[in-house]
Structures are given as structure tokens and as C-alpha cells.
Structure 1
Amino acid sequence: IILYQPYGKSVDWWAFGVLLYEMLAASRHFDGEDEEELFTAITTTMCPYPKVMSKEAVTICKGSVGSCQVNCPYPQFLTKDTKKRLGCSPAGEREIRDHVFFRRIDWDRVASRDVQPPFKPRIKSARDVSNFDRQFTDEAAKLTPTDKLFIMNLDQTEFTGFSYVNPEFIVDAWADAARA
């Protein structure tokens, strides 16, 4: 995307790999002072993998343990070659489900919603943020200002097939519009 080239589902697997890395490593995969530096980092650099990450975690993100980037024995999410990216072969998501990182996952039980989550946060209300680090909840929100009627005037046919609408948002949006 950032190179302005045609793209497909491979960008989604890349994004999933970045998210997975950030959750496993507890740090950002790519960094930059501004958008240009960030894009340069994404297209040209390889970042280190913390020693605390398991071999399986490294192989699903990077492809192999060590500095191997060429001829890695496993497909990986964060390879820059989209043809070699995990999930982009003809096997598709089967390749991901069969990866050693997910060896303990019973995909049939997941599909039938018969798996208990390893952690279920306790919340007091829909607006309870006590499970998030105060570093983030204490930050002031930086919202892009929009015309109050902008969202309500969007062509809703663009969202055909989407079923979820946050009821709190609708109530808040209509209340704001009524006050305007």
C-alpha cells in the first residue's frame, strides 16, 4: 500500500503479523519520527526479536530463528515478499492454522465456539477502562473534527453486509444533531 502498488489480502496478513509481533514482543515492530521515517522503516529494515519470544512465535512472524531472511524454512507473516507471506499461498488460511505456533488450537472447537477464553476481563460497565494501562486512558483524546451530520449523511449502501452498529454511538450522534 505504501509503495502505491496493487495489493490484495496479503496486506491483511502483514497487518496481522505486525499486531501479533506487538502483542508478543510488547513493543512496536517499526518506528519513525514521522510518516516518512515509518514508511522507510517498514520497507527497508528488519527489527530484532526479543529472546523471550518462543521459537514458534518468531517463526510465525519472521520465518526462522536467527538472521535468516532468504530461503527461510517457514512461510511468515512479516516477509516483505507477498508471494512468500504466510496465508498467501494456495493453501490460504489452512497454512496458518497448520503452523506450529497454533499447534495447541483445536480449530473445530473454535469454530463451534466451544473454547473458553484464557482471560475474561471483568468490567463494571460498557465504559469501564480499568483493564487498560493508565498511560493510555489518561491521554486526552485527539479526535479529527467532523461535520456533526457527516456520518448520518454517508451513503449507507457502502455498509451493506455489516450488521453491528454501536447503539451508544447512534444515540450520541442523534442527540448531538438535535442540539445543533
Structure 2
Amino acid sequence: MLSKALVLRTKQLDHVLCEKEVLEALSFPFIVNVYASFQDELYLYLVLEYSIGGEFFTHLRKANRFPNDTARFYAAGVILTFEYLHNRNIVYRDLKPENLLLDAHGHLKVCDFGFAKTVEPGTNTWTLCGTPEYLAPEIILNKGHGKAVDWWALGVLIFEMLAGYPPFYAEDRMQLYQSILAGKIDYPRHIKKEAKDLISRLLTSDLSRRLGNLKGGALDIRTHAWFKGFDWEALINRTMSAPISINVRSADDASMFDDYDDDDGPDIGAGKVRPDQQQLFAGF
């Protein structure tokens, strides 16, 4: 449920409409399904598949860091999702643990497509968007960017899953960007050499060398040594057991989600929307 007034005030209308349009056009095992959308005078409603396993971010923080095989399993789900999106010329642009959910079987569900955008082959987009720690150098430098930014973000995610923290971090935003542009990564000793190699080949500012952005596309990543022996067919068919077990009592159990303060009530951000503004939401 989204307040129309808040959407307009925060200039999120394009993102909201884009998310609805993109999600309605997609159907993939590791992307959250949208079942319906409607509106009233004050709110927009988007009915999404309930991912009862909760937020991936919460599971990662509770574990501190994931074992190699767990990180590999969830990285593989992201890779297949990006391959699916990129084949349809859609760039996701907002990968981070907070935008991943788990279903009842512990399998991945990618959500939050507010920054997703169709980018035709041979063209770039220029919007500065995404989570600072996950931004690719070409976004920071405003050089124009395409599908390759998703593969950079994958490298950040793999590192964070294995280390328990992102490869680039600073309290100051500009220092963070400088760290990303410098590209120096300190790997914890426990990270396997195959994982290090994959991460380093994803986190390269040279687009002509970044895995996923080469002629072989996502296949170059799926055939990397870190995935040696990995059963991609079993993953896409969801016959592979997930490494995280989801223990719930019923189909509407919400115990896997953190509690959030709702003292402000349902009317937070609500406000009247003028008739001329209502037209902006036509077709939602």
C-alpha cells in the first residue's frame, strides 16, 4: 500500500509505475509474482506473492556470514534471474540483500523493481540510482551504464555473503565512492580462491573484462570454477534443496519477518490528491 500523496511528494511516481509494469510482464521462479493492482483516492495497492521465508537480509545478518555452498546457491539464483532479465533487455539496478526474499522452501525471490529499466542493446542509461555500496564505477562517474552494473553488484553481493560485510565501505559517501573507484579489495582468509577469482572478475571497472559483460554473457559466470559441479538444472527446476530451512506454522505465518514499529498508523504519508494529480495514476 502506497500513499499517492507521498509518492508524488518524494517524486517516486515513475519508479512505482515502472515497477508495476515490469513485474506484470515477468514470470520467473526467482522473481516475486504480482497478482493484482488497484487504487482508491488516497492509496495505490500492489498485491504481491507472499514470500513466507522472510527477508534474505535478516537471514544473512543472523548468520553473520554464509558458508561457501550457501553463498553459491543464492548467487546462482541471482545469476539466473539476471540472465532472464537481460535477455529481455531489462537492467535491475538495485541488487542488495534487502531486495531479496525467501519462499517457503528457502528459495530466492527477487523483489523491488522500482529501479528496473528497459535498456536496448547498444544504448546506455544515465540515472544515478541504487544502493551506494553496490554502485558500479560507471554509475558513480556518470559515464552511462547498462546491464554490466548488475554483474558488478553480483560481485558485491557474493563478497558480502562470504565476508559478512560489503567490499567497499565508508561512513562518508564521497570516501565510499573513492574506495569503489580505487577498486582495492581486502579478502578475508577463509574465502576460497575460486570465489576470490570470480569476485575480482566481477568487480573490475574495465567493462571489456567484467564477467557477464563479455561475449559469453551469463554463461561465463555459470561455467566459472566456483560453480564447478553445481547443478543448474536442479536449481531452475527447484528440485535442489535450499541451504536455509524455513520453519513456519501456517501459510500466513509472519514469524520469519522482523517486527517494525507501526505506531504511526496506516495514514502515515496520506494526504488529499487533486483531481489533476489523480490522472497521473490512470491505469494503475
Q: Where does residue 210 of structure 2 map in the other structure?
A: 85
Equivalent of 1:95 in 220, 234, 248: 220
Match of 1:9 in 2: 147
* AA at the equivalent of 1:52: H
Q: Distance in 1 between matches of 2:176 and 2:259?
A: 25
> What is the one-letter code of the residue matched to 1:126?
A
How many Å separate the matches in 2 of 1:98 and 1:6? 28
Aligned counterpart for 2:189 among listed residues 40, 51, 55: 51
2:148 and 2:213 in contact (8 A); partners too = yes
The DSSP-based 3-state class of the residue aligned with 2:194 is helix
- The 2-side partners of 1:30 and 1:88 are apart by 21
Deviation sequence 1:83-135 (CA, Å, 0-9, x none): 21111111101111100111121112222222111222324522434xxxxxx
Q: Distance in 2 between matches of 1:41 and 1:100?
A: 28
- Partners of 2:147 and 2:271 lie apart in 1 by 33
The equivalent of 1:31 in structure 2 is 169
Is the contact made by 2:183 and 2:203 (CA closer than 8 Å) also made in structure 1? no
**CA distance in structure 2 between the aligned counterparts of 1:139 and 1:43, rounded to whole angstroms:** 35
* Equivalent AA in structure 2 for residue 50 of structure 1: P
User: Among the aligned pairs, what percent are the same residue?
Assistant: 35
Alignment of 1:22-171 (within 5 A): 22-62=160-200, 76-123=201-248, 125-129=253-257, 147-148=269-270, 155=281
If asked which structure has higher relative contact order (CA below 8 Å, sep 6+), I would say 2
- Find the aligned partners of 2:148 and 2:261 in 1 and give their Cα distance: 34
- Using structure 2 for the length normalisation, give the TM-score: 0.42
Q: 1:156 to 1:83 in 2, by over 3 A?
A: farther
Secondary structure at 1:83 match in 2:
coil
How far off its partner does 1:156 sit? 7.3
Indicate the RMSD between aligned Cα atoms, in angstroms: 2.7
- The structure with the largest strand share of the pair is 2
Distance 1:36 1:140, change over 3 A: farther
Greater C-alpha radius of gyration: 1
Query: CA 1:57/1:156 → structure 2, altered by over 3 Å: closer, same or farther?
Result: farther
Runs of 4+ in 1 over 2 A off after TM superposition: 137-141, 146-150, 153-157
Residues 5-43 of structure 1 show CA distances to partners (whole Å, capped at 9, x for unaligned) of: 111111000011101101111122111122111111111
SS of 1:59's equivalent?
helix
Per-residue deviation, 1:147: 3.6
How far apart are 1:140 and its partner, in Å? 7.5
Residue identity opposite 2:172 in structure 1: D
Unaligned runs of 5+ in 1: 63-75, 130-136, 160-180
What SS does the aligned partner of 1:118 have? coil
State the SS of the aligned residue for 1:8.
coil
- CA separation in 1, counterparts of 2:259 and 2:190? 29
1:138 deviation in Å? Answer: 8.8
- Quote the offset at 1:139 in angstroms: 9.3
